[in-house]
Amino acid sequence: MASLSGVRWLTRALVSASSPGAWRGLGTSAAAQAALRSQAEDVRVEGAFPVTMLPGDGVGPELMHAVKEVFKAAAVPVEFQEHHLSEVQNMASEEKLEQVLSSMKENKVAIIGKIHTPMEYKGELASYDMRLRRKLDLFANVVHVKSLPGYMTRHNNLDLVIIREQTEGEYSSLEHESARGVIECLKIVTRAKSQRIAKFAFDYATKKGRNKVTAVHKANIMKLGDGLFLQCCEEVAELYPRIKFETMIIDNCCMQLVQNPYQFDVLVMPNLYGNIIDNLAAGLVGGAGVVPGESYSAEYAVFEMGARHPFAQAVGRNIANPTAMLLSASNMLRHLNLEYHSSMIAEAVKKVIKVGKVRTRDMGGYSTTTDFIKSVIGHLHPHGS
């Protein structure tokens, strides 16, 4: 696997700053669990790239099944090492978390579903999902929101990128009851991490040939916390004179995205704002089922859905849209320098959507997940099937 050292072009190029280190019923159906078990054994393939797979909750296992079926049909040289971590299926423990971390640290690349976080407080404030991100220092979440040709939405021909810092901010898990009936939640903003995500955003814009970065904040209210984030973005912007830099308050940004999203190119923001904007922007081009996402540290790359939803009401009904997960898997292959297979799968998915005969319910059709997978496989390049 010596070639692995040369394929992590994105994180190597983008991370040069010093880096410190109301869904319910989320259980997977019996049928889905049986399918999961049948797919669970790792197949050792000589010369294949090892990738950690974490199916997650809700329709995650069904979407991962779609990825495995398409990869098999396309003869993709990837070996999945599957692990299960779930707080709602009683498959979460320190031991399981360490197993997942060990696998991800060894393989450097992972594809994951949504690990649902229950709202009930059971003595631990940090969810397993958040702990995973922190332990791997997955500080940059990247969601490329792009319209899919052939699928008409309120806004078409959109192409923007949301970059979110996801290791601090409102997700610091520092909460306490300071007096009876009074809860304090601490939002942590540091210069080091604010500078790091700002530099990542500008490096990304440079690498991808983009022209503008917009820093999203609420510094008019959180003058010190968001003020520091904004100051760091302004300082980093001065180092990139060819990239236009703008700032926008988060509430105005939400309105502008709905009214005129074409004004945006790359947006960079703290944790909570990024979570909200990821979902809002995904809705502009078709929803959680069609937008891929990825998270990076200096060493690791994790590929996932851009809008993290378990879609619990679809579990076991064969109606989930695998588009986002397949496009994310395609991005993963590009990261591994498997350009041929990456393009083959992405083009097949886009052809299915452009032709328009096979559409899942979230896209206004009646096709099943299985129908979509079969159609994608049918559109793969003949040399890859």
Residue 89: its pLDDT value, please? 64
Residue whose C-alpha is closest to residue 333's, from 34, 92, 67, 150: 67
Task: Tell me the mean pLDDT in the region 181-203.
Answer: 96
Report pLDDT digits (tens) over 333-352: 999 999 999 999 999 999 99
Give the Cα separation of 236 and 326 in Å (integer): 34
User: Smallest Cα–Cα separation from 16: which of 140, 122, 189, 149?
Assistant: 140
* pLDDT for the residue 42: 42
Q: How far is residue 108's CA from residue 4's CA, in Å, rounded to a whole number?
A: 9
Q: Hey, where are the domains in the chain?
A: 48-118+125-143+288-384, 154-285
Question: Position of tokens 């992972």?
Answer: 110
The CATH number of 154-285, from 2.40.128.120, 3.40.50.970, 3.40.50.720, 3.40.718.10, is 3.40.718.10
Q: How high is the pLDDT of residue 100?
A: 86
Instruction: For residue 161, name the pLDDT band (cuts at 50, 70, 90).
Output: very high
CATH number for the domain running over 48-118+125-143+288-384 = 3.40.718.10
Q: What percent of the chain has pLDDT over 90?
A: 62
**Residue 48: strand pairing partners:** none
Give pLDDT, residue 24: 30
Q: Answer yes or no: are the C-beta atoms of 230 and 224 closer than 8 Å.
A: no
Phi/psi class of residue 328: alpha, beta or left (left: φ > 0; alpha: ψ in -120 to 50)? alpha
Question: What pLDDT is attached to residue 12?
Answer: 44
In tens, the pLDDT along 203-241 reads: 999 999 999 999 999 999 999 999 999 999 999 999 999
- The pLDDT tens digits for 287-336 are 888 999 999 999 999 999 988 766 767 777 888 999 999 999 999 999 99
What's the chain's length in residues? 385
pLDDT bucket at 356, cuts 50 / 70 / 90: confident
User: For residues 51 and 237, is the Cβ–Cβ distance under 8 A?
Assistant: no
Residue 111 confidence (pLDDT): 94
Q: Residue range 352-373: average pLDDT?
A: 91
**Could you give the 3-state DSSP secondary structure of residue 283?**
helix
Q: What is the pLDDT of residue 252?
A: 97
Summarised one tens digit per residue, pLDDT across range 76-124 is 999 999 888 766 666 667 788 888 889 999 999 999 988 776 666 665 6
Whole-number average pLDDT of the chain: 85
Q: Largest Cα–Cα distance in the chain?
A: 67
Those residues whose C-beta lies under 8 Å from the C-beta of residue 158, and which sit 6 or more positions away, are 145, 146, 147, 261, 262, 284, 285
pLDDT at 261 over 80: yes
Q: Is-same-fold flag (48-118+125-143+288-384; 154-285)?
A: yes
Q: Among 237, 236, 253, which Cα is nearest to 245's?
A: 237
Please, are residues 384 and 75 in contact by the beta-carbon 8 Å criterion?
yes
Q: What is the pLDDT at residue 199?
A: 98
Question: Residues 272-290: what's their mean pLDDT?
Answer: 93
Residues pairing with 245 in the sheet:
213
Residue type, 254: C
Separation CA 187–CA 218 (nearest Å)? 13
Q: How confident is the model at residue 174 (pLDDT cuts 50, 70, 90)?
A: confident
Q: Is the dihedral of CA 368, 369, 370, 376 positive or negative?
A: positive
Distance CA 304, CA 329 (A): 8
Q: State pLDDT tens for residues 14-72.
A: 444 434 333 333 344 444 444 444 343 344 455 789 999 998 888 888 999 999 999 99
Give the pLDDT mean for 346-365: 92
Give percent of the chain with pLDDT exceeding 70: 81
